[in-house]
Structure 1
Amino acid sequence: MLNSTRVSYFVLTAYVHTAHFKHVCFVLVLFVYLLIVCANVLLIVVICMNRSLHEPMYVFLCSLFVNELYGSTGLFPLLLVQILSDSHTVSLPLCFLQIFCLYTYASVQFSSLCVMSYDRYLAICCPLQYNTRMTSSRVALLIALSWFYPFVAILVLVSLSVSLQLCGNMIHKVYCDNYSVVKLSCSDTTVNNLYGIFYTFTTVFLVLFIFYSYVKILKVCFSGSKQTRQKAVNTVTPHLVSLLNFSCGCFFEIAQNRFDMKYVSNMLRIFLSLYWLTCQPLFNPVMYGLKITMIRIALKNLVFGKT
């Protein structure tokens, strides 16, 4: 075993040895990263430049796109460096910084989806009270809370991991993962585990609240007229699909951490471990940009210069 004082870096062991193809992999990953950045920045600009989109739903979407840029930046730059590297080592500070970025991204994602479900619940189930409840100050407060709580919660999580004594430095991923770091500890991890359970329950509560909101929304949709039902379903569908997509990605990641996946090919394990970090930044801009009419019209006006 390695002594805790000698562990100054981690080794990411999940990289496939493709010396002859690493430049091709680098170009493909760089293309995906640039695509994510361009798509999310474009929609942020569209929402910010069009006063007709300065409504709560679109402001929450803008916050969601900003978070996707943040999460992608926490993953892809280091991923690109590691693809070209032969040693696949990461210093302790940089590793914990990546853990903080990726975990706050996931937490903000769930918080943002929760806030968006509450907004749609008020708009569809309580339309007469929507403008009085969803004021500008309330919107700002909800966005602030959706970012502040995850940053504080993950800061505590990472702080607990930093204080552990490590007896190993092998992380079987292509990026730094908190669960993998805790497993390397040779000190007591009871506090880490208890806090991890508490944090998991808060996330599950958010997910249950989101599903509850959409159940109430769909109940109202199907009890109204055909036009009302169609309009509400078109508005709700992107949010619900986004939630299911991200939840499935997180489930894949949890399954990899908790169960023995040695019988699964290395390439498939890499894909599953990256899915929750890349599915939303790639999927959401396309889905929201095409599905929501006002964003689609504003995007056409911006690209083709129409008024």
Structure 2
Amino acid sequence: MDWLNSEPNVTYITLVGHVELLKYRYLYFVIIFIIYTLILFCNFTIIFLIMTHQSLHEPMYIFIAALLLNSVLFSTVIYPKLLVDVLSELQVISTLRCSIQRFFYYSLGASEFLILAVMAFDRYVSICKPLQYTTIMRNPVLYSLLSFAWLFPAAQLAPAILLTHSLKLCKFTLPGIFCNNAVYRLRCALPKALTTYGLFTMINTVVIPFIYIIFTYTKILVISHRSCRDVRKKAAQTCIPHLLVLVSFSCLCTYDITAARLATRLPKTAHLIMTLQVILYHPLFNPIIYGLKMKEISRQLKRLFYRGKSK
């Protein structure tokens, strides 16, 4: 690996979370490539439908498109590097690229919670205040909410990532296949202020949006229960997919926190399986849920594939 020695001022971290890589590297490559291709195809298909069909140019569907785009960006932070690693002699990453990967990994993860919170607000206005919906959910409001969902986590995380990057490394081997918060264990010392700020950031970008989503859907459930059958049907059709996605992503976030904390305690195979759950399941779950459960999207999907077969 002469290229490692050609950059003497660059510090590298070795990723040692792969299992039997020399034996199964080509199988790993094929599986990862297929999964990433499926993620891109499934998510972009629904995004394409939302962009090209006038009947889907409503705030609810635009938020779904934003959520699916977020899933694509989240996957792109991880999968291309994985594909390179499984075919490489050494699985290494520079400390700078590791910090960048960790920044986007957690920033986009937090954006998912905020987009789901925005979607909960949209459903609340639509079901509980239908007469005011068009006045409240105007395009400037819609795009301001989406901008906030992407920019706020990035602004919150940037100081912590920069500070962590500046800390001295005492270990250079990461028990994982990409950079997550297990990187903290590689630092010689971790200031208490950084830990406190990390907790503050998590509360702002994950805990508060999660509580808001649960509170909002509880109010929707109570109001729709008191309303007519049509309102209950509308609430069920549009809210259940969002709640399924919320539960799925919350479970995977718990997985990630557990995997990062137990990285050195779990057997290598068990840790790899837990890590793969975080990056594999959810980006495919989102388009499947919205494609099957959202009536208008499902109808447009059937039209698209039926038209393709007829040709």
TM class by shorter-chain length?
over 0.9
1:267 to 269, 276, 288: 269
1:248 matched to 2:251? The reply is: yes
The question of whether the paired residues in 1 share the 8 Å contact of 2:116 and 2:246 is answered with yes
Give the equivalent residue in structure 2 for 1:151: 154
The question of whether the paired residues in 2 share the 8 Å contact of 1:71 and 1:105 is answered with yes
What amino acid does structure 2 have at the position aligned with 1:147? W
How far does residue 259 in structure 1 lie from its aligned partner after superposition? 4.3
Measure the CA separation in 2 of the matches of 1:7 and 1:298. Answer: 50
Unaligned runs of 5+ in 2: 1-7
Aligned counterparts, 1:193-232, within 5 A: 193-202=195-204, 203-232=206-235
Aligned-residue CA RMSD in angstroms? 1.8
Measure the CA separation in 1 of the matches of 2:43 and 2:118. Answer: 19
1:297 to 284, 299, 304: 299
What amino acid does structure 1 have at the position aligned with 2:77? G
Measure the CA separation in 1 of the matches of 2:69 and 2:286. Answer: 12
Give the equivalent residue in structure 1 for 2:96: 93
Identity of paired residues, percent? 33
Measure the CA separation in 1 of the matches of 2:275 and 2:23. Answer: 23
Give the equivalent residue in structure 1 for 2:78: 75
Measure the CA separation in 1 of the matches of 2:264 and 2:229. Answer: 47
2:285 to 280, 283, 286: 283
Mean CA deviation greater in 295-304 or 238-247: 295-304
The question of whether the paired residues in 1 share the 8 Å contact of 2:127 and 2:231 is answered with no
Measure the CA separation in 2 of the matches of 1:18 and 1:184. Answer: 23
Normalized against structure 2, the TM-score is what?
Answer: 0.91
Aligned counterparts, 1:103-252, within 5 A: 103-177=106-180, 179-202=181-204, 203-252=206-255
Q: 1:260 to 1:54 in 2, by over 3 A?
A: closer
What amino acid does structure 1 have at the position aligned with 2:148? L
How far does residue 188 in structure 1 lie from its aligned partner after superposition? 4.5
Give the equivalent residue in structure 1 for 2:5: none
How far does residue 182 in structure 1 lie from its aligned partner after superposition? 2.0
Measure the CA separation in 1 of the matches of 2:280 and 2:153. Answer: 19
What amino acid does structure 2 have at the position aligned with 1:20? K
The question of whether the paired residues in 1 share the 8 Å contact of 2:108 and 2:150 is answered with no
The superposition leaves residues 1-48 of structure 1 with CA deviations (integer Å, 9 ceiling, x where unpaired) of xxxx98701011111124222111110111000000001111111000
Mean CA deviation greater in 150-159 or 112-121: 150-159
The question of whether the paired residues in 2 share the 8 Å contact of 1:7 and 1:166 is answered with no
Measure the CA separation in 1 of the matches of 2:279 and 2:155. Answer: 20
Unaligned runs of 5+ in 1: none
Normalized against structure 1, the TM-score is what?
Answer: 0.92
Q: 1:189 to 1:183 in 2, by over 3 A?
A: farther
Equivalent residue pairs, number: 300
How far does residue 261 in structure 1 lie from its aligned partner after superposition? 6.7
The question of whether the paired residues in 2 share the 8 Å contact of 1:7 and 1:169 is answered with no
The superposition leaves residues 191-243 of structure 1 with CA deviations (integer Å, 9 ceiling, x where unpaired) of 22111010111120111001111111111222223333123112110000000
How far does residue 275 in structure 1 lie from its aligned partner after superposition? 2.1
What amino acid does structure 1 have at the position aligned with 2:109? A
